[in-house]
C-alpha cells in the first residue's frame, strides 16, 4: 500500500510540472516544507527542501525527514544526525523520539546504549527504561513503578508491561489494583480504569453495566442502594457514583451522606466521601465547603484537596483550619509562596507573630504576587530591584554566535513560532544570569518581546527589571490610558500577561493581538465606539487592538467597580467575576486566591503584581499591592449591571 501511495504521489508530478509552478522563495519553501512534515508527506517535504542546502534551518529539514521515517530508520542514519548536531535541541528531540521507537520495538540493547546522553526524560522513556531493566531480570525496577502506579492517568506503554509483570509476581496485589482503580474512576479515566479492572481476580471484578450506570446516572444509582455494601466491588461502584455526583451536585451527595448512604458505609469510606464533597463544594465556592471539610476529619486528602480546604477556610474567615491544612501538604507544595503567605497570616491571626514573621521572611522580596504582599506585611517599602544590569559585549557576542538562538530567530522570522519557542527555551535552559540577560537583549532587539521578558525573568541574582517589564508601544498605551481614565501601569500589566506584547498573538480560543481580543468582543466594542472602518483583520494592528482593548477594560471596570474584579472579568467574563464574590465582603487577596479557575487565578495575581512593577518603573502612583487589592464588596440582591458586556 505504501508503494502504491508513493507511486500515486509521483504520478501527479508531471501534471503539476506542466503548470510551471512559481518558484518559491527560501522563506516560502521552509514554511511549505514544515507543512509537508506536519501532513506526513515525505514527497512534498523532499521537493520543498531541494535547493535549501546550507540554509540556517537545514538541520530542521533533515530532522523532519528523519522523523517521518523513524519507524524503519537504520540506527546509523540517526546516529549520524546526532553526531552532526551534538547538544542541540533537534538532537535531543530526535533522540527522545528514537528511544520511544526503540522501546516499542523492544530493542533494549540499543535503547539502553542511547538513553544516557538524553538530558530530560518524559514518562514514556522512563517507563521504557523500567521495561528494559525487567527484560534483563532487574527486579528493582518494580520498586520504582510505584511513582507511576498512583497517578490518576493511563500508564505509559512501558509501565503497563511492567505493571503486568509486577502483578504476576505478586508485587502488586488486588488491594493495590483497587487503590489505582479508585484514583482512575475518581478522575474520570474510564478507559484506564477498564484496563485496571482486567488486573483484578475474576471474583473481584465490578459489574461493567453497573459501572456504566454509576458513571452516567450517579443520582439514579445512589437512589437505589442495596441492603448492604459488604462486597468490595459493589462498594467501590457506589463510591465512584458518589464522586461523580459530587462534581455536578455537591449538595445532593451531602444529603445522601446524611442519610442511608452514610449509614451503610464504613467510617473511613464515609470520611473519604466527605473529603470529596468538601473539595467539590469548595471549588464551586459553596459556603458549606468549610463545614464539609470538618466532617472529613482525618481522611487522607490530596494536596489539591488541601489547597481548597485552605481556600474555603479563607472565605469563611477561619484561620485554624488554614494552619491544619497547610501542615498536611507535601513538603514541595507546602513551600509554595501562596501557602507560606497564608500560613504566616494564619499564625499572626492566632497569636503567633514570631512564627508569622519567619514565614514572611522566607518569601519577601520574591518577584511575585505573594513575595510583594509578604514584604508589605513586614512593613518593607516596595522597590524595583536595581541596578538594571546591562549585558556585556562578550556575552552579547556569544548570544549572537549561538546556533540555537540564531535558528530560533530565523524560525520566528518565518512565523514558525512553536518550533522557535521550543528551540529558544532549550538553548537558554542552563544559562547563567549574564548570558540570560544577553539573550534577552538579543530578543528585545529583534522585536521578540515575549522571549526578552521570559528570558530576563529567569535571572537569579543579577537582574534587569526594565527587560522583565518591557513597555513597547508605550506611547499608544499612554494615550489610551489617559483617554479612558485607567491606570497605564494596569493596562501594561494586563497586556504583559495576555500576550507578552506579541502583536500577532492568537490563542487556541481565537483571541488575537496584544490585548487578546475575541472577534465578537472586538466587533462589539468597535460598534460601541463608532469605529466605522473596523475590519476583523485589523484587530492585530497595535493601535486598533489597544484602542478596543482599553475601551473594553474601561467598560468592565465601570460595571464591576474594582480593578481586581475587572482583571478577572477580562480573562473569564464579567458574569463569573461577579459570581465569585462572597456573601460578605472579602479581602482582595482572598478573592484572588479563591478564584475557581486555575488559569484565571494565576492570571489575576500576575496582572496585579505586574501593575505594581510597572507603576514603580513608570514613576506612577506608589500604591501598595494590598491597597490595590482592597476589599471586594459582597454580592447584593437586585444589583444592576451591564448585561450587554460580552
Q: Which residues are catalytic?
A: 498
Give the Cα separation of 212 and 79 in Å (integer). Answer: 49
- Residue 312: half-sphere exposure toward Cβ, Cα within 13 Å: 28
State the helix-helix crossing angle for 108-115 and 89-105, rounded to 10 degrees. Answer: 160
Give the Cα separation of 412 and 407 in Å (integer). Answer: 9
The x, y and z cell numbers of residue 446, run together, are 529583534
Give the Cα separation of 157 and 123 in Å (integer). Answer: 10
Give the Cα separation of 185 and 177 in Å (integer). Answer: 12
C-alpha triplet 234, 238, 244: angle, nearest 5°: 145
Give the Cα separation of 100 and 293 in Å (integer). Answer: 44
Sorted by sequence, the CB contacts under 8 Å of residue 3 that are 6+ apart come out as none
**C-beta separation of 591 from 580 below 8 A:** yes
**C-beta separation of 335 from 347 below 8 A:** no
Give the Cα separation of 25 and 35 in Å (integer). Answer: 15
Sorted by sequence, the CB contacts under 8 Å of residue 283 that are 6+ apart come out as 308, 596
Sorted by sequence, the CB contacts under 8 Å of residue 81 that are 6+ apart come out as 62, 63, 66, 90, 91, 94
Cα-Cα-Cα-Cα dihedral of 415, 416, 421, 422, to 10°?
A: -170
The x, y and z cell numbers of residue 641, run together, are 449591571
Give the Cα separation of 235 and 237 in Å (integer). Answer: 5
Amino acid at each position: 500500500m505504501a508503494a502504491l501511495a508513493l507511486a500515486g504521489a509521483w504520478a501527479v508530478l508531471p501534471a503539476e510540472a506542466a503548470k510551471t509552478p512559481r518558484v518559491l522563495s527560501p522563506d516560502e519553501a521552509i514554511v511549505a516544507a514544515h507543512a509537508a512534515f506536519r501532513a506526513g508527506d515525505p514527497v512534498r517535504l523532499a521537493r520543498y527542501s531541494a535547493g535549501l542546502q546550507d540554509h540556517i534551518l537545514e538541520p530542521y529539514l533533515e530532522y523532519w525527514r528523519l522523523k517521518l521515517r523513524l519507524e524503519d530508520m537504520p540506527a546509523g542514519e540517526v546516529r549520524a544526525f546526532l553526531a552532526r548536531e551534538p547538544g542541540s535541541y533537534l538532537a535531543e528531540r530526535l533522540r527522545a523520539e528514537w528511544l520511544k521507537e526503540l522501546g516499542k520495538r523492544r530493542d533494549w540493547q540499543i535503547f539502553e546504549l542511547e538513553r544516557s546522553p538524553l538530558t530530560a526524560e518524559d514518562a514514556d522513556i522512563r517507563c521504557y527504561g523500567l521495561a528494559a531493566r525487567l527484560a534483563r531480570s532487574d527486579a528493582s525496577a518494580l520498586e520504582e513503578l510505584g511513582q507511576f502506579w498512583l497517578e490518576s492517568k493511563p500508564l505509559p506503554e512501558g509501565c503497563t508491561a511492567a505493571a503486568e509483570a509486577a502483578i504476576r509476581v505478586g508485587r502488586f496485589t488486588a488491594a493495590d489494583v483497587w487503590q489505582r482503580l479508585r484514583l482512575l474512576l475518581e478522575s474520570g479515566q474510564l478507559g484506564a480504569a477498564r484496563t485496571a479492572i482486567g488486573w483484578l481476580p475474576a471474583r473481584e471484578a465490578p459489574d461493567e453495566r453497573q459501572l456504566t450506570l454509576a458513571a452516567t446516572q450517579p443520582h439514579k444509582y445512589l437512589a437505589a442502594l442495596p441492603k448492604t455494601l459488604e462486597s468490595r466491588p459493589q462498594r467501590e461502584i457506589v463510591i465512584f457514583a458518589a464522586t461523580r455526583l459530587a462534581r455536578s451536585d455537591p449538595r445532593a451527595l451531602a444529603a445522601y451522606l446524611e442519610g442511608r448512604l452514610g449509614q451503610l458505609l464504613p467510617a473511613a469510606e464515609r470520611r473519604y466521601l466527605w473529603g470529596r464533597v468538601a473539595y467539590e463544594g469548595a471549588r464551586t465556592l459553596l459556603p458549606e465547603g468549610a463545614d464539609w471539610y470538618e466532617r472529613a476529619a482525618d481522611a487522607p486528602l490530596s494536596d489539591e484537596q488541601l489547597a481548597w480546604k485552605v481556600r474555603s477556610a479563607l472565605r469563611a474567615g477561619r484561620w485554624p483550619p488554614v494552619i491544619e491544612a497547610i501542615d498536611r501538604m507535601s513538603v514541595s507544595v507546602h513551600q509554595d509562596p501562596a501557602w507560606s503567605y497564608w500560613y504566616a497570616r494564619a499564625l499572626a491571626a492566632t497569636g503567633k507573630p514570631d512564627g508569622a514573621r519567619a514565614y514572611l521572611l522566607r518569601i519577601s522580596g520574591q518577584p511575585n504576587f505573594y513575595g510583594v504582599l509578604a514584604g508589605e506585611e513586614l512593613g518593607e517599602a516596595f522597590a524595583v530591584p536595581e541596578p538594571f544590569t546591562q549585558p556585556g559585549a562578550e556575552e552579547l557576542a556569544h548570544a549572537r554566535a549561538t546556533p540555537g538562538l540564531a535558528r530560533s530567530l530565523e524560525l520566528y522570522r518565518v512565523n514558525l513560532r512553536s518550533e522557535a519557542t521550543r528551540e529558544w527555551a532549550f538553548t537558554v535552559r542552563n544559562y547563567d544570569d549574564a548570558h540570560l540577560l544577553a539573550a534577552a537583549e538579543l530578543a528585545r532587539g529583534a522585536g521578540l518581546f515575549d522571549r526578552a521578558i521570559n528570558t530576563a525573568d529567569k535571572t537569579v541574582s543579577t537582574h534587569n527589571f526594565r527587560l522583565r517589564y518591557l513597555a513597547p508601544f508605550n506611547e499608544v498605551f499612554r494615550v489610551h490610558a489617559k483617554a479612558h481614565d485607567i491606570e497605564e501601569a494596569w493596562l501594561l500589566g494586563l497586556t504583559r500577561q495576555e500576550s507578552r506584547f506579541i502583536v500577532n498573538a492568537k490563542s487556541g480560543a481565537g483571541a488575537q493581538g496584544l490585548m487578546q481580543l475575541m472577534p465578537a468582543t472586538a466587533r462589539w466594542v468597535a460598534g460601541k465606539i463608532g469605529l466605522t472602518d473596523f475590519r476583523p483583520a485589523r484587530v492585530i494592528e497595535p493601535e486598533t487592538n489597544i484602542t478596543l482593548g482599553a475601551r473594553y477594560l474601561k467598560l468592565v471596570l465601570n460595571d464591576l467597580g474594582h480593578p481586581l474584579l475587572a482583571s478577572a472579568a477580562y480573562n473569564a467574563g464579567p458574569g463569573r467575576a461577579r459570581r465569585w464574590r462572597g456573601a460578605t465582603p472579602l479581602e482582595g487577596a482572598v478573592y484572588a486566591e479563591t478564584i475557581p479557575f486555575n488559569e484565571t487565578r494565576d492570571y489575576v495575581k500576575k496582572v496585579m503584581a505586574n501593575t505594581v512593577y510597572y507603576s514603580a518603573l513608570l514613576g506612577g502612583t506608589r500604591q501598595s499591592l494590598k491597597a490595590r487589592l482592597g476589599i471586594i464588596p459582597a454580592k447584593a440582591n437586585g444589583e444592576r449591571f451591564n448585561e450587554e458586556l460580552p
